[in-house]
A and B are shown apart, each in its own frame.
Chain A
Amino acid sequence: MAGFFSASTFRQVGNAATTQNLLTIENIDATKLVWIRRITVQMDTTAVLTAVSPLIKTSRTTGVPTGGTTLSKGLFDTTASSNANTIVRGSTASDGGANSGPTATASTVVWEQFGTRIHTAVGQVLAPDMSCLPIIVDVQDFVLRQNEALMVHIVAAAGTSNPATNHYVVNVCWEED
């Protein structure tokens, strides 16, 4: 079981609402722990937004997430296998596909980042990594115990700030004991 694993969402489009859940990772195992080692979001936006950019927040959740698309888990070393009780969810099963969750209630916000926006539609558009947890978690344990989850979600000032011309990819890397 022990080892390092990663998962990546498909490209998820904005849902034209003020909130949108992008990725959850949950641990429902009674004895095993999950340590988040890196979690990032990238955003591309093709439409002008002259209002404030959406915030991308990382929160623990109240209860265990449901719904969405369960994502495949990549192995850092094929001698390890991920615990079936570690579950990663995204909102779509294909690039740009329809959003279907995941459903979860955010509790304490752990970290946040502004997304990106283009004030005028000119020039180059970069999509840098935006860390969804402080990068020290690669060596300082951020722990998910039984029935705990972490969620990356959008909080937009208005639904029009999160249109379907916003695109998100979230990556997560974790360790299991």
Chain B
Amino acid sequence: MAVSFRGTAQSLTIFANDATAQNLFVIENGIASRVNVLVRRLTFGSDSLAVLASVANIVRTCRATAVSGGFVVDKAPFSGAQTSDSAVVVRAQANEAGRITATAGDTLWAQFAARIHTAVEQQLLEDDGERLKQRNLLPTIANDIAPFTLRPGQSLLVKLIAATAASNPFASRNYAVRCSWDEDEIATFAISGTVTLSGSPVSGAIVTVVEADDNVGTNAVLRQVITTGAGGTWASSIRTGKVGAAFVQYENGGTYYTAPGSPYLA
């Protein structure tokens, strides 16, 4: 399929949380998405204002489930002609607010964050990550050889692990995370119809299109709400491999009409 969006997103400064675990950043491909997310680059920076003479914190990348919270951050396109799928959401903690809740899966990659053994001289915060391929949260291998793929309903989490809570002190340790990704369109098939009343097409009818994994409604999502135009016609699309259903409501002169919903059809 075609790449419909290529872009980036980045967190604001994230304050540490005085705990041994902290979720920093999530990129989430929602269940209603029409794209696969191919993560191209995922890096972080850290700035420590407080001395840490024990082992540095570790930043880990995992797949995740049950994601909630965080601030939704802007998605920046490489080309203004492209639009990201609205179901692709990037979340990050912002300063001390917007804590992210998630269940982490197996670790994919890990990095030590920097620390200052004593508070002297210059701090290199980013380690020139792009040029030197440092601070990677996914392995840096040639693009297009092995895109890390998030399919609809999947998420990628960046989390911090500290040996002790004292190693991750609030407001004395700061993190920033950024991500670059492509969105690869998923194939769809078309569905359409005509709304009629007493055999005559009607405009202004509301057609609700629902998409699901199967005909018992697993992972059902609202696909589209369409108002019919002249001729009563409507059209939408369903992801290949999914099933779709449509439901109709029409109001005329204060009287509401509805029609039996169609079964889920592939």
A27 interface hit (Cβ, 8 Å): no
Indicate if the CB atoms of B117 and A118 lie closer than 8 Å. Answer: yes
A117 interface hit (Cβ, 8 Å): no
* CB nearest to A138 among chain B residues: B141
Indicate if the CB atoms of A38 and B114 lie closer than 8 Å. Answer: no
Pick from A71-79, A101-109, A148-156 the stretch touching chain B.
A71-79
A171 interface hit (Cβ, 8 Å): yes
Given contacts A37-B145, A139-B145, contact A123 B107 (CB under 8 A): no
Indicate if the CB atoms of B118 and A129 lie closer than 8 Å. Answer: no
Indicate if the CB atoms of A128 and B141 lie closer than 8 Å. Answer: no
A173 interface hit (Cβ, 8 Å): yes
A24 interface hit (Cβ, 8 Å): no
Given contacts A37-B141, A46-B53, A123-B121, contact A129 B133 (CB under 8 A): yes
Pick from B78-86, B89-97, B148-156, B256-264 the stretch touching chain A.
B148-156
Indicate if the CB atoms of A38 and B53 lie closer than 8 Å. Answer: no
What is the number of residues of chain A that contact chain B, defined by CB distance less than 8 Å?
41
The contact string, 1 if C-beta is below 8 Å from chain B, for chain A 1-38, is: 00010111101000000000000000000000000011
User: What residues of chain B lie closer than 8 Å to A175, measured between beta carbons?
Assistant: 146
Indicate if the CB atoms of A125 and B151 lie closer than 8 Å. Answer: no
Indicate if the CB atoms of B55 and A167 lie closer than 8 Å. Answer: yes
User: What residues of chain B lie closer than 8 Å to A72, measured between beta carbons?
Assistant: 106-107
Q: Which parts of A25-66 form the interface with B (CB within 8 Å)? A: 37-38, 40, 42-44, 46
A127 interface hit (Cβ, 8 Å): yes
Q: Could you tell me the distance in whole angstroms from the C-beta of B102 to the nearest C-beta in chain A?
A: 15
Indicate if the CB atoms of A76 and B149 lie closer than 8 Å. Answer: yes
Indicate if the CB atoms of A74 and B106 lie closer than 8 Å. Answer: yes
In order of increasing CB-CB distance, the 9 nearest A-B pairs are A127-B112, A74-B108, A72-B106, A138-B141, A173-B139, A4-B146, A77-B149, A38-B139, A8-B110
Query: Apart from A123-B121, A167-B55, A173-B146, what are 4 other A-B pairs with CB-CB below 8 Å?
Result: A78-B149, A78-B154, A124-B122, A167-B56
